[in-house]
């Protein structure tokens, strides 16, 4: 009955799809291997519920965990983990927690995250078609999530627009070779590192988008799950950071 550190897991699916079932196996494996609770957020989906609804739901779940009233959850030891659109929401939630002077997350795991609404990186051209996620598909997802184009210059919508990333939680940023999102994820990892945030950045060679949630199909998925689980276990073994107040 000892309260455990807890991962807030945010599934991918272009903000329009995905659910608790699509990522259940990966979440269970992370829980077993890391000895953390994994709380997966069943956030509202677009286009019926565009920005900021998905983000609001993630932050509401985190707030409920943080207040210490959930049995088995150590509300002082929370982390964020998400893939694709979930990685986007994790990145934004991590920065907003800092800006709102909330207790910091201990870790942010960003698995091939959506980072930049501009969609102009080289990997968009290199991997536009033929590898599952397409450039056309991403344009559709952005239209569903942020239908007002003017919103896309805001850092809560496009994390690449953030100007101050100092003081954010240690990050694990995973990208894959054949993915339109590859370059923006790697660029964000570099932005975090330049801001002094501890970062582990990994590009998985030969893989396509969405592989992380399919451990029954890909050795690389099982390896990535083991890597992020080991990092969480290491984080749990460290003393809590001191408050800046």
Q: Give the residue among 156, 84, 153, 83 at the shortest CA–CA distance from 118.
A: 153
Contact at 8 Å (CB) between 169 and 96?
no
The answer for residues whose C-beta is within 8 angstroms of residue 125's C-beta and 6 or more apart is 135
Name the DSSP letter for residue 25.
H
Please state whether beta strands 171-178 and 199-208 pair in parallel, antiparallel, or not at all (unpaired).
Answer: parallel
* CB atoms closer than 10 angstroms to residue 200: 15
Query: Active-site residues: which are they?
Result: 84, 179, 209
Whole-angstrom CA distances from 196 to 70, 225, 240 are: 33, 25, 19
Burial bucket for residue 2 (CB in 10 Å: 0-12, 13-18, 19+): exposed
Please state whether beta strands 4-10 and 73-83 pair in parallel, antiparallel, or not at all (unpaired).
Answer: parallel
């Amino acid at each position: 009955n000892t309260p455990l550190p807890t991962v807030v897991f945010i599934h991918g699916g272009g903000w329009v799809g995905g659910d608790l079932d699509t990522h259940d196996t990966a979440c269970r494996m992370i829980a077993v291997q890391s000895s953390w609770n994994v709380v997966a957020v069943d956030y509202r989906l677009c286009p019926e519920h565009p920005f900021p609804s998905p983000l609001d739901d993630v932050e509401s779940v985190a707030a409920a965990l943080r207040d210490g009233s959930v049995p088995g959850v150590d509300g002082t030891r929370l982390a964020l983990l998400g893939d694709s659109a979930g990685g986007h929401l994790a990145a934004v939630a991590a920065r907003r927690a800092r800006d709102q002077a909330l207790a910091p997350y201990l870790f942010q795991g960003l698995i091939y995250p959506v980072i930049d609404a501009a969609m102009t990186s080289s990997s968009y051209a290199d991997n536009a078609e033929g590898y599952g996620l397409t450039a056309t598909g991403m344009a559709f997802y952005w239209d569903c999530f942020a239908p007002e184009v003017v919103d896309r210059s805001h850092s809560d919508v496009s994390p690449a627009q953030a100007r101050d990333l100092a003081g954010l939680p240690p990050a694990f940023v995973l990208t894959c070779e054949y993915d339109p999102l590859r370059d923006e994820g790697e660029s964000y990892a570099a932005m975090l590192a330049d801001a002094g945030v501890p970062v582990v950045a990994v590009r998985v060679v030969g893989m396509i988008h969405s592989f992380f949630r399919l451990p029954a199909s890909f050795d690389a998925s099982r390896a990535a799950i083991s890597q992020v689980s080991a990092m969480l276990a290491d984080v749990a073994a460290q003393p809590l950071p001191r408050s800046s107040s």
